[in-house]
Structure 1
Amino acid sequence: MKIAIIGTGHVGSAIAYALVLKGLCDHLVLAGRNLAKAQGDALDLQHTLAFCERSMLIESAALEEVADSDILVVTASMPTSGPMSSRLELGPANVELFRQLIPMLVRNNPNALLLVITNPVDIMTYLATQISGFPTARIMGIGTLVDSARFRSLLSLEEQIHPDDLRAYILGEHGPNQFPLFSTASAGSEHIDDNPARRDIFNAVHSAGFDVYNAKGYTNYAIAAAACEVIRAIVYDSRRTIPLSTYLDDWLGIQDNCFSIPVVVGRRGIIRHLHPDLNRSEKKALEKAARLIKDQIDRLLLPEDNLS
């Protein structure tokens, strides 16, 4: 299993470190615009192997040299200047970056699965789907996986139950237009009710990413762990149910869009879309999220990128 991480900033480096500790591949390639940084990370991680149970080949490469990968983890992003109030601020520059990057990666890695981390992730996943030519099952955005994990972690404190035993998702946009799926939330088949205290928990989750960003200037640990969960499901073909951003041709009348729903992930990528029953307020929240994401897609992408 060969995994290439495209972009060696805070997020890419954290994902690489987590992959090495978890031993999730045989061959790890680090690539980015700053080749010296990629080389330094690769060397540092090689030294880390002395403390790991599984050995692997770790190397750095220029972006154009990345080839024959099984999984491409795309974290590359244009740098920001100063504080950021919305992930959409990254949109214009990262759209241009993807237009240059994705076709080259696809040519050199024709059989890869593509895991998109770059923000705004729903738009970037849609764009990668449009310009790559890959089947939609092979393109996944990290979406609301981290948001759902944060939600379960905070709910677990109230419920006094391990987060992994809670079935509670946040769906929609990885951003302000996400929503909690309380209608199907449960622990041990006992329903987790929607009430003001739990709405407060969701509101805390809603702002958590920017709380971290504003405190230290970036987020990296939780997103690295989330990426590894997706990669683990692929490597071991474990068919885990994970909320990810995925292209949707048509669901509940929503067409040609990209946002997070629960999907089943295995060696071939997204094996199956799951379609939970939504109550009336959840359907309205989904429709709002889908409409606003599509507006953003139409605003950021030129007509030749939008095949709808």
Structure 2
Amino acid sequence: MSFKDSKVVIVGAGNVGSTTAYSIINQGLCEEIVLIDVNWDKAYAEALDMQHSVYFMNRNIKVHAGDYSECSDADVIIITASAPMPKDSHNRLEMLAPSMSIMRSIVGSVMTSGFDGIFLIISNPVDIMTYYVWKLSGLPKNQVIGSGTNLDSARLCCELAAMYDLDAKSVEAFVLGEHGDSEFVSWNSSSIGGKRIDDVLADNADRTRDITKEELLRRTGQAGWDIFNRKGNTCYGIAASGAAIVKSILFNENRIYPVTVCVDGQYDLNGVFLSVPTVIDKTGAKETVEIKMEPDELASLHRSAEIMTSFYRELNL
């Protein structure tokens, strides 16, 4: 795989899909982007608009609307299409039943083309949909990845950085487990400039303004809903997260991101899709990083796993 022949297909040309495509174009991550949507006119218009933007970017990227026959030689297929969030709902799991039908149709069409690349699932509920795509596709588990808690982790890093007036990239902290209500923070592995978060909080008590770990987790989980409630969607953060994952795949970066993968043997779990730190390279999910967790953190991971597996029975596989 190289830039010269790299191709990304994005299924779903709504706010998330289109913004993800634009993020990939801005960074010059591949040679060709194909947009697929049930509303072909929408996909066509978004692709044409983006193709015009390439003129100003010093890029050489082709962007166009297409169909599932173009998935056969794609390196990465990003699925952003999903059922709309039920009105006044703050639970991504309520999207499960309607999203199943959409995902069955998409994956069936993709696999009929002969696709053998890497799936990146962004559609919610992302952990269950990632498991579902893996089952439907029949691909090896390393070739099916979900965006998971990658963005949640970035939001947490931003919250911590704001407390100390730092660049968020100086913070390393993972939100893990379900991308949803049972997610948790692995505080034991979190640090700022190499200093453990527990020590940072203790040594800077006058600057924390009585903000607790529980409050930081609450703010992290609430951030997406705050955005959604005010503008009807979240797109820039998740698009940047998706582009970062794609970059690690196409450029064989071996970056570690907390993404939804099959946890199989690590953390005393087997065959469940959850977000854990994962090495991402050209093969997809290259390796699960088994970090040391405190007993309560490991219990939280297992609680997320129990919630996820309880829904697997409803997938009728």
**Same fold? TM cut 0.5:** yes
Q: 1:198 to 1:22 in 2, by over 3 A?
A: farther
2:168 aligns to what? 163
**In the TM superposition, what is the alpha-carbon distance from 1:202 to its structure 2 partner?**
1.7
1:173 aligns to what? 178
Residue number among 295, 301, 308 corresponding to 1:280 in the alignment: 295
1:99 aligns to what? 104
1:29 aligns to what? 34
What runs of 5+ residues in structure 2 fail to find an aligned partner? 1-5, 202-209
Q: 1:276 to 1:50 in 2, by over 3 A?
A: same
The amino acid that maps onto 2:138 is G
Does residue 1:129 correspond to 2:144, yes or no? no
The amino acid that maps onto 2:297 is E
User: What is the TM-score with the length of structure 1 in the denominator?
Assistant: 0.94
Contact 1:69 1:109 in 2 (8 A): no
Residue number among 203, 210, 216 corresponding to 2:225 in the alignment: 210
**In the TM superposition, what is the alpha-carbon distance from 1:61 to its structure 2 partner?**
1.1
SS at match of 1:197: coil
What's the RMSD between the two structures over aligned residues? Answer: 1.5
The amino acid that maps onto 2:115 is P
1:154 aligns to what? 159
Structure 1 runs, 4 residues or longer, greater than 6 Å off:
none
SS at match of 2:243: helix
Taking the aligned partners of 1:252 and 1:152, their CA distance within structure 2 comes to: 24
What runs of 5+ residues in structure 1 fail to find an aligned partner? none
Residue number among 89, 92, 114 corresponding to 1:87 in the alignment: 92
2:25 aligns to what? 20
1:72 aligns to what? 77
Q: 1:97 to 1:146 in 2, by over 3 A?
A: same
SS at match of 1:51: coil
The amino acid that maps onto 1:231 is V
Does residue 1:197 correspond to 2:207, yes or no? no
Contact 1:173 1:289 in 2 (8 A): yes
**In the TM superposition, what is the alpha-carbon distance from 1:80 to its structure 2 partner?**
4.2
User: What is the TM-score with the length of structure 2 in the denominator?
Assistant: 0.91
Q: 1:286 to 1:80 in 2, by over 3 A?
A: closer
**In the TM superposition, what is the alpha-carbon distance from 1:66 to its structure 2 partner?**
3.6
The amino acid that maps onto 2:122 is I
Count of matched residue positions in the alignment of Structure 1 and Structure 2:
302
Q: Please list the CA deviations of residues 172-224 of structure 1 after superposition, one character each: whole Å capped at 9, or x if unmatched.
A: 00000100110111122211118662421221011111111111111111000
2:149 aligns to what? 144
Contact 1:126 1:258 in 2 (8 A): yes
Contact 1:129 1:247 in 2 (8 A): no
1:227 aligns to what? 242
**In the TM superposition, what is the alpha-carbon distance from 1:67 to its structure 2 partner?**
3.1
Taking the aligned partners of 2:17 and 2:139, their CA distance within structure 1 comes to: 23
Contact 1:87 1:120 in 2 (8 A): yes
2:57 aligns to what? 52
Q: 1:274 to 1:22 in 2, by over 3 A?
A: same
2:204 aligns to what? none
SS at match of 1:127: helix
Taking the aligned partners of 1:271 and 1:8, their CA distance within structure 2 comes to: 29
Stretch of structure 1 that moved more, 158-167 or 205-214: 158-167
Q: 1:65 to 1:3 in 2, by over 3 A?
A: closer
Q: Please list the CA deviations of residues 109-138 of structure 1 after superposition, one character each: whole Å capped at 9, or x if unmatched.
A: 522110000000000000111111111111
Contact 1:33 1:62 in 2 (8 A): no
Taking the aligned partners of 2:22 and 2:94, their CA distance within structure 1 comes to: 28
Q: Please list the CA deviations of residues 140-186 of structure 1 after superposition, one character each: whole Å capped at 9, or x if unmatched.
A: 00000000000001111113332112111000000001001101111
1:116 aligns to what? 121
Contact 2:72 2:116 in 1 (8 A): no
Contact 2:171 2:192 in 1 (8 A): yes
**In the TM superposition, what is the alpha-carbon distance from 1:297 to its structure 2 partner?**
2.2
1:255 aligns to what? 270
**What is the identity percentage for the equivalent residue pairs of Structure 1 and Structure 2?**
30
Contact 1:30 1:59 in 2 (8 A): yes
Does residue 1:10 correspond to 2:25, yes or no? no
Taking the aligned partners of 2:305 and 2:238, their CA distance within structure 1 comes to: 23
